[in-house]
Amino acid sequence: MVGVVNSQVVFERPAAMSSVATHYCPGCTHGVAHRLVAEVLDEMGLVEKTVGVASVGCSVFAYNYFDCDFVEAAHGRAPAMATGVKRMLPDRVVFTYQGDGDLASIGMGEIVHAAARGENITVIFINNANYGMTGGQMAPTTLPGQKTTSSPAGRDVEQMGFPIRTAELLATLEGAGYVVRRSLHDPKNIRLAKKAVRLAFETQVRGLGFSMVELLSTCPTNWGINPVDSLQWVEDHMVPAFPLGDYKVADAVAQIRLR
């Protein structure tokens, strides 16, 4: 560019992210979540010693977007697969990246037991209140009355029960070191989410047990709302149903001071 002097980099792709366009829909917060994880891997210098575990859902191709080793799990089994990797390579950093159908429906058994064992892995849990990849069906996190392609009249709690609050559920387990819920609907919350992701990886690096950050996310395409309104919808509807907060912070984790 002509006439620009003293140019300064104020924003760039994290080194831990691959230089490829993602397949995510416009306005989807997966990209934000990816970025937060990548920034943390960069900050902590972990890229070369990390093995990611992708799951089945919209983030099935997560392995294309991170510059670390990756394996691809069967639907719901990422915590078990991550357990296998971590047990064989205890000095490596292992994280799973799972959606709500994957983690809280088909994979509920694996996530509960990984947390109960205090498996020293980090879980990034994307909660967008529906099955995104298959086109917006009802998920275990779908809100009461929420219309999806498989609950066209709205989620009927008499028939289909209530949403599962995974962070609260896992927080009851002794093995959980750090379990929190954050949201990606505005810059302030994104900054808080970033800190939580950092603390989750710090928990793992220090060997303090299972860590999970649940991230409330948007799905404009399947919700049928534009991206900006989707962010508002998270704030108006999801945050009340899935309160943000720290559900389990083990004493040793609370002692961690980030520089």
Partner 1 sequence: MPKELLKGNIAMAEAAIRAGLEGYFGYPITPQTELLEWMSARMPELGRVFLQAESELAAINMVYGAACTGARVMTSSSSPGVSLMMEGLSYIAGTEIPVVLIDVMRGGPGLGNIAPAQSDYNQIVHGGGHGDYFPIVLAPSSVQEAIDLTVLAFDLAEKYRTIVVVLADGSIGQMMEPAELPPMKPLKTTRPEWATTGATNREKRVLSSIYLQPEQEEITNLRLLKRLEEIEANEIRYKSYYLEDAEFVVVGFGTAGRVALSAVRMARAEGLKVGLLRPITLNPFPIAQLRQITDQVKAFLVVEMNSGQMLLDVQRATMGQAPVEFYGRLGGVVPFPDEILAEIRRIATTNEYATNGFVRRNWLRRLETLVDGGE
- For partner 1, the closer of residues 37 and 81 by Cβ is 81
CA 167 – CA 173 distance, rounded (Å) = 11
Distance CA 138, CA 128 (A): 11
User: What is the C-alpha separation between 229 and 169, in angstroms, rounded?
Assistant: 29
CB of 195 to partner 1, least distance (A): 25
Nearer to partner 1, 80 or 219 (CB): 80
Question: Which is nearer to partner 1, 27 or 57 (by Cβ)?
Answer: 57
Vertex 179 angle, CA 177 and 182, to 5° = 150
Q: How far is CA 205 from the centre of its chain?
A: 18
Q: Is 100 in the site for partner 1 (CB under 8 A)?
A: no
The verdict on 50 binding partner 1 (CB under 8 A) reads yes
Q: How far is the CB of 146 from partner 1 (least distance, A)?
A: 29
String of contacts with partner 1 for each residue 108-147, x by CB under 8 A: -xx--x----------------------------------
Q: Chain-centre distance of CA 81, in angstroms?
A: 17
**Closest of 68, 81, 8 to residue 34, by C-alpha:** 68
Window of 51-59, 97-105, 198-206, 229-237 that interacts with partner 1 by CB under 8 A: 51-59
| Interface pick for partner 1 out of 36, 37, 38, 53 (rule CB under 8 A) | 53
Identity of the residue, 210 or 233, whose beta carbon is nearer to partner 1 in the bound complex: 210
Give kind and range of the element (H or E) at residue 177: strand 176-183
Which stretches of 73-217 are DSSP H helices? 78-88, 100-101, 108-116, 157-160, 166-171, 187-205
Contact code string over 58-97 relative to partner 1, x by CB under 8 A: --x--xx-xxxxxxxxx--x--xxxxxxxxxx--xx----
Binding positions for partner 1, rule: CB under 8 A: 47-51, 53-54, 60, 63-64, 66-74, 77, 80-89, 92-93, 109-110, 113
